[in-house]
Structure 1
Amino acid sequence: MSRRRPRVEGVLFDCYGTLIDIMTDEDDIRTYQCLSRWLIYQGVRITPRSLRAGYLRRVQEAAELTGERYPEVQVEEVFAGICAEHSAWEIDVGQLGAEAARAFRAASLRRLGVIEKSRRLLDLFGTRKLGVVSNGQRVFSEQELRVLNLYDRLNFVIFSSDFGYQKPDPRIYTAALGRMNLLPENVLFIGDNRENDVTMPRRLGMQALHVEDAWRRYGA
């Protein structure tokens, strides 16, 4: 006799590749050319190649400083450091760091949209508690969810930049379960990365499906 699957009272989604279809290019020198030109008008003078090298170096250094197995950084702090080092006049480092992070995202963006099959999953589960757990940067990822009319459909959104560590660190899932105030067995996790979104959630007692399996199971 097969065991009955527990009732789904809440659903956690991954963000990119699950709800949002996105393509960015953070290696393309044109990304840094665009950002370098934008920074001129903010009082920061740095060449595109120096900007790329400085960004990659600072991200690596910040990640190492966390001491985490799956480290995460806050890119606005990375850009704040770059802006402070290369400022031509007095600037508001904190504010400019956040603005530069968003400008960087815009410069790197090649494609952005909603995955319609997953939008239909949101419709299907609309009466349940809904959340997002994403390896993402709140400084611009929240903006993307908002502009695509997804943010207000969710009860909460957790980004790895809030914590300093990423999935599959168990703590990020535990934080999400705490926000839902549900037993793990009554929460379904849906995502496109098998280790992050299927294996680890199941290990923690949740139900979990690869997003393509979820589309098939629920007829999206």
Structure 2
Amino acid sequence: MFESSEIKGMIFDLYGTLIDIRTDEHDFYTYDTVSKWLQYKGVKIDPEVLKSEYYSKIAERMAVSKEQYPEVRVEEIFADICSENAIWKSDTNYLGIETSKVFRSASLRRMRPFEESMKILKRYNAIPKCLVSNGQRVFSEKELRFLGMYKYFDHVIFSSDVRYKKPDHRIFKIALDRLNLKPGEVLSIGDTVENDIVAPREMGMEAMHIYDAWLSLLK
């Protein structure tokens, strides 16, 4: 069992750390499903055009961003697409949000919690925790809640909230501020070395790969 008295808070990654997930955002089926759903919302767009527009609009926003690790909000991408292809008037901002969820569900191939990670959350329930994920709040928060993990976190930060991604140190700084802790008092846990191990250590935090955490924290 992890016994460091210096650790007063924990930062967790989400996908590949807490949630075992597989999506396919390149499959024709994904866009065909969304395209058919959009028909009933007054948006007419061919699946292949939808796919092309989705990626081109993301690329355009990334290109004009001044961030080193830029992030977009997918609901804004879909809102633009819906606005440009609407055949009757509707609230395209709201439609962008709903389309994002349909898109996620259509692309989803597997989603389940890592049981070992769930055990860590339960065992260390008393330690303040912050989730820091390169994810889209519009559907990632729903997944976190659906799998029963949201309640274990005092704070939840998605890259879509701030429009930049890990390994940008600023997103970790937000987490530290919300936890009201110093870097040396926090342990970062994740599955991506650059994002979840190197960056936190550069800031003075402890950091551990999720596989090592399963071995060390569940003894």
- TM exceeding 0.5: yes
1:188-199 matches, within 5 Å, as: 188-199=187-198
For residue 69 of structure 2, give the secondary structure of its aligned residue in structure 1. Answer: coil
2:39 aligned with 1:27: no
- Measured in 2, the distance between the counterparts of 1:130 and 1:154 equals 5
In structure 1, give the amino acid aligned to 2:148. Answer: N
- Measured in 1, the distance between the counterparts of 2:34 and 2:22 equals 18
1:49-198 matches, within 5 Å, as: 49-198=48-197
- Measured in 2, the distance between the counterparts of 1:29 and 1:163 equals 30
Unpaired stretches in structure 2, ≥5 consecutive residues: none
The answer to whether the 8 A contact 1:188-1:208 is kept is: yes
Match of 2:14 in 1: 15
2:207 aligned with 1:217: no
User: What is the CA RMSD across the aligned residues, in angstroms?
Assistant: 1.2
TM-score, with structure 2 as normaliser: 0.97
- Measured in 1, the distance between the counterparts of 2:64 and 2:81 equals 17
- Measured in 1, the distance between the counterparts of 2:155 and 2:62 equals 26
In structure 2, give the amino acid aligned to 1:39. Answer: L
For residue 70 of structure 2, give the secondary structure of its aligned residue in structure 1. Answer: coil
The answer to whether the 8 A contact 1:11-1:125 is kept is: no
Kindly state the Cα deviation for residue 124 of structure 1 after the two structures are TM-superposed: 1.8
For residue 64 of structure 1, give the secondary structure of its aligned residue in structure 2. Answer: helix
In structure 2, give the amino acid aligned to 1:120. Answer: K
In structure 2, give the amino acid aligned to 1:74. Answer: R
- Measured in 2, the distance between the counterparts of 1:106 and 1:50 equals 19
Deviations 1:157-201 (A, max 9, x none): 100000111000110000110000011101000000011000110
For residue 71 of structure 1, give the secondary structure of its aligned residue in structure 2. Answer: coil
- Measured in 2, the distance between the counterparts of 1:6 and 1:72 equals 36
Kindly state the Cα deviation for residue 6 of structure 1 after the two structures are TM-superposed: 5.8
In structure 1, give the amino acid aligned to 2:180. Answer: N
- Measured in 2, the distance between the counterparts of 1:129 and 1:111 equals 29
For residue 122 of structure 1, give the secondary structure of its aligned residue in structure 2. Answer: helix
1:29-48 matches, within 5 Å, as: 29-48=28-47
For residue 156 of structure 2, give the secondary structure of its aligned residue in structure 1. Answer: strand
Change (3 A) 1:183 1:6: farther
Kindly state the Cα deviation for residue 63 of structure 1 after the two structures are TM-superposed: 1.3
For residue 174 of structure 1, give the secondary structure of its aligned residue in structure 2. Answer: helix
For residue 67 of structure 1, give the secondary structure of its aligned residue in structure 2. Answer: coil
For residue 216 of structure 1, give the secondary structure of its aligned residue in structure 2. Answer: helix
- Measured in 1, the distance between the counterparts of 2:65 and 2:142 equals 26
State the aligned residue count: 217
In structure 1, give the amino acid aligned to 2:116. Answer: K
- Measured in 2, the distance between the counterparts of 1:168 and 1:218 equals 24
In structure 2, give the amino acid aligned to 1:78. Answer: I
In structure 2, give the amino acid aligned to 1:162. Answer: D
Kindly state the Cα deviation for residue 8 of structure 1 after the two structures are TM-superposed: 1.1
- Measured in 1, the distance between the counterparts of 2:88 and 2:62 equals 29
